[in-house]
Amino acid sequence: MSYIGKAVKRKEDKRFLTGKGRYTDDIVLPNQHYAAFVRSQVAHAKITNIDPSEALAQPGVIAVYTGEDLKADSVGGVPCGWQITSKDGSVMVEPPHPAMADGVVRHVGDIIAMVIATDQNTARNAANLVDYDMDVLPPVPHLEAAIAGDNKVWDDAPDNVCFDWHLGEKEPVDAAFANAAHVVELTVRNQRLVPNAMEPRCSIGHYDVATDHTTLYTTSQNPHLIRLLLGAFVLGIPEHKLRVVAPDVGGGFGSKIFHYAEEVLVTWASRRDQVPVKWTATRTEAFQSDAHGRDHISTARMAMDAEGHFLGLHIQTAANMGAYLSTFAPAVPTWLYGTLAAGVYKTPAIYVETKAYFSHTAPVDAYRGAGRPEMTYLIERLVEQCARELNMDRVELRRKNMITADMFPYQTPVALEYDIGDFHACLNAGLAEADWAGFEARRAEAASRGKLRGIGISTYVEACGIAPSALVGALGARAGLYESATVRVHPTGSVTVFTGTHSHGQGHETAFAQLVADAFGIDIDAVEIDHGDTSNSAFGMGTYGSRSLSVGGSAIRKATDKIVNKGKKIAAHLMEADEADIEFADGNFTVKGTDKSVAFGQVALTAYVPHNYPIEELEPGLEESAFYDPKNFTFPGGTHIIEVEVDPDTGMLEIIQAVVADDVGTVVNPMIVEGQIHGGLAQGIGQALFEGAQYDDDGQLVTSSFMNYTMPRAADLPFFKAGIHVTPCTHNPLGAKGVGEVGSIGVPPAVINAVIDALRPRGVTDISMPATPHKIWQALNAAAAK
């Protein structure tokens, strides 16, 4: 029986659903101490004095540390993992990022001091007793202020500009605009979001003086990378003396990829005080110090001929980086964004410019989709606007400009080569499922009840499965992006797989087990997936960019292939046959054309009990490792259609229908794939209708709790219809593309296009995210007043 394509129930859910998950916060080490941080309440200030005496006098407090102590111990800053080169050839401005403030605080939540105490309450209470004086300085509280440049964040960045990057060729785009019959322009904001995993970040540093080994338990999506950065760049601990463990992590959504100051501080303090030191974020700390997502303002201009064929596209974006450069932040508004400017269209000339700015706000980095939602939102809003201004049917305009199935592999003008896809098939499937043709009747029926009904579409492609090391290296990545796997077949035929990816909700313990059970023809319960501990897996680049199946799964496939090849040698020996005549299928090694066969389990036992075994030719044991570095990204794509109904008296909005027709390549587990799409959809709808982080003009984060930052709730979300159209990826052995982010990428423009479609009869032609009931109500009233 093949396990590929089967909706196997998730193995990991037993422990999660019975409350038996083991999260970092569940870990209690002997003599564990606790850290609490004194965080800046203002956006920008010079610290003139810190007086820890009252905090230090509290029973149970063993230390209070500041940036001075880090400096005295030569602790390195938190490094950035990606370097961007500007148009003029200069490298980005890369300011220092001390783990605790070096005398100046640069955003609300920046760390001023750390208290270590015997229990959590004592540490938190004592943190409130650390006295400090500050000279408050003028802040750069948001992107607009950063662009205006009246105040600055870093002396090295006089106009607050971190880099000024471009992609594509300007001349052909200028020529396209010179020859255009129509030009349509649109400016949109992709608002700042707070990732908000249910489980806040948590880290425990543990230095063992007896062995001189240091362990960091942490809520990370990529423990190996944390070990590399923390060991080599920040604390100077050799990798063989440093172990990073990321057990059950809870939600990540990107926010737990990055190397955070708190990880540095608990590890450093544990080594210094020789006690385990634990910190768990409060929700407010999470709002203030988790890396945020998005925060772009973009203008896009499309040049078209008289029939609406796209001739040229020019995109200019301002991106907020926050006060410091988080681990992958510079990659987000550049290579993860600009490279998708073609979308699903044949636009022949594209030029993308991105200026990144510093501001006195929390650092911004990858959040589910990272760069791809921003670009998809921009293009799909612009295409909709093109259809409106040219008075053309919005589906027909898309069809006319869409890359056709016979054009793959398709080289875009913005660096990427899409290997395969069928955008028209997804479009047709989506339209049929959504009964697009019947919509006007539904609109009329809603109108008869006094409601405004709208339908919106987005057709998208994204690049994930990051990525070829050679390519990302050329683009500025300071790490490779391969993946590793070790497959250990035990003597009795059961299997443990060590992977460098990390599962925090994506179901790898099931889907990867399906791959292995399928490869060996064994029961899925005989396979266990181990992840998240640098002591176990050879190396790994973790989980993000929807890479785990296509890259990590492919590494597993390479390793299982090696095992099967070795198994053939053992089987040939056991059956006294020529190795070339051995075939392997359904768990049995067979001599071609005969009924002679040995089972996988027998071969495993023979490998470990090597009596009568050709020791000279074959090592005992049955374990193989493999590294897989992909040749290209994978390119999921599809069509998302959202239908909404608005109550014009209140602005309240209901999503009536959500249809997604996605192509994620060969599907390993359709139930997990649907779950991933649903999760992404929830976050996409959250961005479109509810969420948004706001700093006021003083740089205060006014949305710093669930009282004022609206998360989507189950009742806000529709049931959805998912159709899958498969074009298998051409360059990985599984044919799989990524699925983890498609919902958050394709959905926001479909929602906003639907909202505008609903409100257009009342004269509303634009609305920004999040389209809250209040904003909708205001837009309707403003249009009525015109």
Binding residues vs ligand MCN (CB under 6 A): 251-254, 368, 504-508, 511, 543-550, 664-669, 672-673, 676, 679, 736-741
Nearer to ligand MCN, 511 or 519 (CB): 511
- What is the C-alpha separation between 547 and 85, in angstroms, rounded? 25
Which residue, 689 or 736, is less far from ligand MCN as judged by CB?
Answer: 736
Query: What is the full DSSP assignment across 294-355?
Result: --EEEEEEEEE-TT--EEEEEEEEEEEEESS--TTGGGTTTTTTGGGTTTTB--SEEEEEEE
Residue 626 Cβ, how far from ligand MCN at the closest point, in Å?
17
Q: How far is the CB of 720 from ligand MCN (least distance, A)?
A: 16
The smaller minimum CB distance to ligand MCN, of residues 365 and 741, is found at: 741
Please state, in angstroms and as integers, the Cα–Cα distance from residue 245 to each residue in 24, 120, 200, 205, following that order. Answer: 9, 22, 16, 10
* Encoded tokens for 399: 């069809």
Q: Which 3 state secondary structure label does DSSP give 161? A: strand
Least Å distance, CB 735 to ligand MCN, is 8
In whole angstroms, the minimum distance from the beta carbon of 586 to ligand MCN comes to 22
Cβ atoms of residues 639 and 426 within 8 Å: yes
Using alpha carbons, list the distances in angstroms from residue 459 to 168, 320, 500, 739.
22, 27, 33, 15
Contact 371, 360 (CB under 8 A): no
Q: Are 569 and 618 in contact (CB under 8 A)?
A: yes
Is residue 63 within 8 Å of residue 269, measured between CB atoms? yes
Nearer to ligand MCN among residue 540 and residue 740 (C-beta) = 740
CB of 369 to ligand MCN, least distance (A): 7
10 or 301: whose CB is closer to ligand MCN?
10
Do the Cβ atoms of 279 and 264 come closer than 8 Å? no
Q: What are phi and psi of 44, to 5 degrees?
A: -155, 120
Q: Which residue's C-beta sits nearest to ligand MCN? A: 505
By beta-carbon proximity to ligand MCN, the closer residue of 110 and 741 is 741
Output the smallest distance, CB 223 to ligand MCN, in A: 15
Our CB check for ligand MCN shows the closer of 491 and 728 to be 728
- Give least dist CB 546 to ligand MCN, A: 4
Q: How far apart are CA 277 and CA 279, in angstroms?
A: 7
CB of 259 to ligand MCN, least distance (A): 17
Cβ burial of 710 (10 Å; 0-12, 13-18, 19+) is middle
β-bridge partners, 186:
300
DSSP 8-state assignment for residue 106:
-
Shortest Å distance, C-beta 676 to ligand MCN: 5
Report the chain's terminal Cα–Cα distance, integer Å: 66
Would you say 67 or 665 has its CB closer to ligand MCN?
Answer: 665
Q: How far is the CB of 141 from ligand MCN (least distance, A)?
A: 28
Q: How far is the CB of 252 from ligand MCN (least distance, A)?
A: 4
The three-state (H, E, C) secondary structure of 575-621, written as one string: CCCCHHHEEEECCEEEECCCCCEEEHHHHHHHHHCCCCCCCCCCCCC
Contact (Cβ atoms closer than 8 angstroms) between residue 357 and residue 160: yes
Long-range pairs, 478-482, Cβ under 8 A, ≥24: 478/81, 478/82, 478/83, 479/81, 479/225, 479/228, 479/541, 480/541, 480/629, 481/541, 481/547, 481/551, 481/629, 482/541, 482/551, 482/555, 482/627, 482/628, 482/629, 482/630
Pick the closer one to ligand MCN by CB: 92 or 559.
559
**In angstroms, what is the minimal distance from the CB of 368 to ligand MCN?**
4
Least spacing, CB of residue 427 vs ligand MCN, in Å:
20
Question: CB of residue 292 vs ligand MCN: minimum separation in angstroms?
Answer: 14
Instruction: Kindly tell me which of 331 and 664 has the beta carbon lying closer to ligand MCN.
Output: 664
Residue 4 or residue 147: which is nearer to ligand MCN going by CB?
4
In terms of CB distance, is 214 or 280 closer to ligand MCN?
A: 280
For residues 205 and 738, which CB has a smaller minimum distance to ligand MCN in the complex? 738
Token pair listed for 780: 């309707």
Give me the DSSP letters along 632-647.
S-B--EEEEEEEEEE-
Residues 6+ apart with CB under 8 A from 19: none
CB of 198 to ligand MCN, least distance (A): 10
Residue whose CB is less far from ligand MCN, 100 or 688: 688
Contact 349, 175 (CB under 8 A): yes
Instruction: Give the single-character DSSP code of 30.
Output: T
3-state secondary structure of 655: strand
Phi, psi of 674 (to 5 degrees): -65, -40
Residues 6+ apart with CB under 8 A from 382: 184, 186, 300, 302
Which CB atom, from 253 or from 436, has the smaller least distance to ligand MCN?
A: 253
Can you name the residues that pair with 643 across neighbouring β-strands?
455, 657
Q: Which residues contact 397 (CB under 8 A, 6 or more apart)?
A: 308, 383, 386, 387, 390
Smaller CB distance to ligand MCN: residue 567 or 738? 738
Phi-psi sector, 612: left (phi>0), alpha (psi -120 to 50), beta = left
| Segment (H or E) for 216 | strand 213-218
Q: Exposed, middle or buried by CB within 10 Å (0-12, 13-18, 19+), for 240? A: exposed
- Residue 242 Cβ vs ligand MCN, minimum distance, rounded to whole Å: 25
Nearer CB in complex with ligand MCN: 76/200: 200
CB of 456 to ligand MCN, least distance (A): 24
